[in-house]
Every structure is written in C-alpha cells, then in structure tokens.
Structure 1
Amino acid sequence: MNRSMNKMEEEVVYLLAVIELIRSMVNYEIMMVVGEVDEQSIQFKSMTHKQFFSIALVDFLSQTDTKAPVPSTSYLGALRAISAKPSFNVNGSVQCLKDAVIAFTEWLRTEIDVDAWLGSISLQVKIRIPRYLVLKIDGNISKHNTLRSVGVAEELQRLLKKADKPVELYEAMLAQKDIYDIFHDDISAYHASTIAEFLNNVHWGIQRYLKPEFARSFAPEGGDSPFYRFLPPDQLEHPYAKTCYWSLMNQIRSEPIFKPFTVTRHLKGNY
C-alpha cells in the first residue's frame, strides 16, 4: 500500500520540480542576458525558443497533476506554502525565497488594460485582464491550434463579455490569431525579460534557502576521490522523496545557471 508523504517529503518533491521547470526555461540554450548591471534584458536565440518559453511558462503557472504523489496545487502556491512553513529554514535562509515568490505572485495578479483590434471579427475593444491570464492564453495558443484551444476561445468570450462586447464562440475562435499577435508578439515579448528575472530570483531563493541543508548533508569520500553522498534527514522515508532529495541537493551543488540579474526599467513601465 502506498503511504502519503509527510510535509518535508512533499516539500522536497515540489522544490525539485520547480527547479527543473525553471532550468528548462532559463538557460543558455534558450536565451542570453545582455546589457550593463541593473540595465539588463534577455534575448531569445530564436522565435522557436521564445515560443517554447511561453509554453513552459504555462506549466509553471498551472496546477500540478492530480495523479502525482503530492497534492495538486500551482507551483507558486506550493512555493508560498513552503515559504510560510519551511522544513529547512536556518537563520532566516528562506527569506529570499519568500520575497521572490511574493513579488512574482503580486506582479502576475496585477490587472492591465489591453487595447485590441480584432480584425478577423472587426471589433475594437479594451480588455481588462490579469497578467497571468495573458501569459496562459499566450502559452496555450502557442501549444495548440484552433481546434485544440477552444477553451482559450471560451476564455476570450468571457473577457469580451466583461468588456461589454459579447461574441459567439465561433467569433472568439476566429479572433484567436489576433489575440495571439497582441499577447505573444507584443505583451509577452515585452515582459519576457522581467519574467525571466522573476524566475531566476525564485531559483536563487531556493538556492539560498537550501544552502545550509546542502552543507549539512554533503559528505565527500575524502582524499582525491570525486565521489560523495548526501545524508538525508531522518524524516525523509518515502523512496520517491529520498530520490528527489538526492537530485535536489545536486541542483544546489551546481547552482542556478544565470547569476542574479536586474532588468532595465525601460522594460517594466508598460502593461
């Protein structure tokens, strides 16, 4: 019989999943950081890499699978819970993670006004929408064609109705290309550097939070041997969580891919 995980075990599983997801988005294969200190930005290697970034970001903003061995929640929701009641906090080491998660969450929840010309249905409209929903619509259209993104069309229907511009479902489906051009090529592209900064800060927050646990756990064989092992806490008993712990400590050992960077204010004033 499968037993449920305790709080520490769940935390390890969530943290590893978050790091792996961030590393898939914020890395040298997909982007590079350019510019002077405190005035930086990111550049994608290609439009395909920008599209992948949008798709992976949808996963980061979504719920975890209900069939996973941990309770289903959003990744940021899991991080907020961990920050509030951390299992590995040493002398306030969790504070950077808590600050990064709060800042990203508040930014995502902020509503913006989008003036949109939906030429396919001859409609001019001002949409009031939270940033996270812009990013989710962008990523879902990046991932699916029209017949696989009817849910996006239904969301667009609700947004247009809220703006006193009700349309039929087929009209919302026709308007998806117009919305994608605005959300993906304009808003998401403008905010990509800021999002990458937030994600990198979250990664560094986890790094600083777990650094004391890594120092406690890391056990090299000594001498010239390249081999080492980790000494997990006694509370870690579930085999899946113990394996995730080893991988998590190896991620802390290697550190985030990019050093902390600050995006130029010129990419933070709109939307």
Structure 2
Amino acid sequence: MNDVEREVVILNSAWEMINGMVNWAMFVKHDITEPTNMMFETSAHRQLFIILLADFLSEVQAFKGKEIPLGLTAPPRNARPSDLTFLFHLRQGIANPMLGKDTSALAKVVEEFSTWLEGEFVAKGVNLSSIDLIVDIEVSRLRYLKMCGDIAKHNLARLATNVKHLQRLLARAGHEVSEQNAYIAVEGFFDWFHDDIFIYHSSQIAEFLNNIRWAIFDYLGPEFSRSHHFTGEISGLALYNYRIPDAIEQPIAHAMYWDLMNRCRVGPWVHRFVVSDSFKSLY
C-alpha cells in the first residue's frame, strides 16, 4: 500500500474501533457538554468496553511470519509502551499527512492519551484475599487496562502472560508469589481493578477516545468537502458520490475511503463532552 492508502486504512480503522466503544448503546445517553461523567448502561456493557479497549491497546502483529496486514508497519525495537497499541499507527498515519494538511489537533489528543496511558499510579490496599495478601500495587494505566481486558475475555487457561505480569507487579511490591498463587489471585486483581479503578477511569477514557474521533473528523473536513458531490435524485432521495484520490487503487483502501467519507457525512456518534475533574484526580 502507498502512503495515502495506508492513511485511509489507519483513520477508518481507528474511527471504527472507537465507534464500537463510545456510543449510546454502551453508555447512558445524555446531551451534556459541560463537565460530566459517563455511565455504562449495564455491567455487561462495561465488560464489553474493557475487552474492546484491550484490543485497541494491543499491538497489531504479523501472523506466522507473514507481513503485518493492511500495509501497517511494526513499531521500533525501543518503542515506548503506547507504541505497542493502535495509537502507534495513528502517529504514523499523521506524521506525513496525505488527506489533509493540519494534523496538530489530532496529534495533540493522541499524545495526551498516550501519556496518560503510560503514567503509573499506586493502588493502595489491594485485597487479594484468596492468597491472604493485602498489598499496594504500582502499575501503569496501560498495563492494568490490558490485563483487565484479557481477564474479561479469556478463561484461566489462556491467562499465562497476565499471571506473569501479576507476579512481577507483586514482586515489585515486595511479595514473591508462586505461579499457582498468582493464578488464584487473578480474580481478586480483576475485581479490584476492573470493578473499582476502571469504572472510575472509564469516563476519562471515553473522553480521550471521543476527542480522537472528533479530531479525525475535523482533520478530514476539507477532504470531505472536496470529495463529496451530489449526482442526482431518485424519488426525492439525493444521490451522492465521492471523488476518490487517484493514488487510492487497492480495493480495500477504496472501500475504506468510502466508509471514512460516509463517517464524515454523518459525523461522530457522540457529541463533544468534557469529563469532570473529580473523575480525573485519582489513580
């Protein structure tokens, strides 16, 4: 894929993933723009959100030695933690913009989310009662979110990597535990971090994601204006088409360009909102 096609794939994929997480089926609908918070519709929606978020925060990898799909590039060996998420590809897509000129607003919100994810906090008095341990755990937001997403998605038989992460977190806190005890403690870790800390963080995460979606929309505004045009009318229904850039030749990029422009035509599903500082001051 060339640079234009790759940018289309990245922006459309990011918008699609965010649509899956930040929408009025997932959260209780409101029209508030002043400082507020976001509440999940149900506990099932909360669990679905953390699973989808963990996918967004996972590295896009090649399968069995093949190239990374859709022309995406691999992060460097010395990558920062957020480079091992889809945010890396957003950075790559806007570093040399093809569909527009000004990516400063998009770059800003991507960096803000990346920096927040990479930040660490201390969860005090984490009660892992199944192994008779109460401990202060220091962890990055990115690490605990990915662990909770994996735990929500998989059964114990597929949690070996997260068990190792939990062992390292506990060792860092001065408590060496066996692999079996770490497996036993996984449920307690999930209950503490998912049912408490993640719920607190979820409003701010939704704001970050929504800001990225709106920044993509704003960035693509001039391209949409150039590309979109009406072609006629049938039974009172206006027909339209898009002037697809000549550089877009690959069928999947062609299809994603249409998807991307249609997303611009409709606009983001959730209005711009700001979360209250009371949901940003802890952890």
Into which bin does the TM-score normalised by the smaller protein fall?
Answer: over 0.9
Shift of 1:243: 1.1
Q: Which residue of the partner structure matches residue 60 of structure 1?
A: 56
| Matched residue type, 1:70 | G
| CA–CA distance in structure 2, aligned partners of residues 240 and 75 of structure 1 | 19
SS in structure 1 at match of 2:71: coil
Q: What whole-Å deviation, never above 9, does each CA across 1:228-265 have from its counterpart, x for those lacking one? A: 11111111111211111111111111111111100011
CA distance in 2, matches of 1:75, 1:31: 23
Q: What SS does structure 2 have at the residue aligned with 1:44?
A: coil
- Extract unaligned runs of 5+ from structure 1: none
CA distances 1:158-184 after superposition (whole Å, capped 9, x unpaired): 111222211111111000111001110
Give the conservation status (yes or no) of the 8 Å contact 2:203–2:275. yes
Question: Which stretch of the first structure deviates more once superposed, 139-148 or 222-231?
Answer: 222-231
Q: 2:163 aligns with which of 149, 153, 166?
A: 153
2:114 counterpart residue number: 105
Asked whether 1:217 is paired with 2:227, we answer: yes
Relative to structure 1, the CA distance from residue 85 to residue 169 in structure 2 (aligned partners, 3 Å threshold; closer, same or farther) is same
Code of the aligned partner of 1:139: G
Q: Note if 1:21 corresponds to 2:4.
A: no
1:25-71, Cα deviation, whole Å (9 max, x unpaired): 11111112558543211111100000000000001101124252222
Match of 1:6 in 2: 2
For 1:71, the equivalent position in structure 2 comes to 72
| 1:170 counterpart residue number | 180
Read off the aligned partner of 2:24 and give its amino acid letter: Y
Larger mean CA deviation between 250-259 and 118-127 belongs to 118-127
Work out whether 1:267 is the aligned partner of 2:276: no
Letter of the 1:96 partner, please give it. A
Deviation at 1:225, TM superposition (A): 4.8
Tell me if the contact between 2:7 and 2:94 (Cα under 8 Å) persists in the aligned partners: no
- Comparing 162-171 and 18-27, the one that deviates more: 162-171
Q: Counterpart of 2:81?
A: none
What's the counterpart of residue 49 of structure 1?
45
Q: Which amino acid aligns with 2:41?
A: K
Partner of 2:238: helix, strand, or coil?
Answer: coil
Aligned residues with identical type, % of pairs: 38
Q: What is residue 261 of structure 2 aligned with on the other side?
A: 249
Does residue 135 of structure 1 match 2:145? yes
Aligned-partner Cα distance in 2 for 1:85–1:52? 34
TM-score, structure 2 length as denominator? 0.89
Contact 1:32–1:43, Cα closer than 8 Å, also in 2: yes
What is the count of residue pairs matched by the alignment? 265
CA RMSD across the alignment: 1.5
SS of 1:137's equivalent in the other structure is helix
Q: Which runs of 5+ in 2 are unaligned?
A: 63-67, 75-84
Q: Against the structure 1 CA distance between its residues 264 and 34, is the aligned structure 2 distance closer, same or farther, given a 3 Å change threshold?
A: farther
> What does 1:224-239 align with in structure 2 at a 5 Å threshold?
225-239=237-251
| Range with greater deviation from structure 2 (223-232 or 55-64) | 223-232
- How many Å separate the matches in 1 of 2:4 and 2:118? 28
Counterpart residue type for residue 64 of structure 1 = V
Of 179, 197, 204, 2:189 maps to 179
Residue in structure 2 matched with residue 114 of structure 1 by the alignment: 123
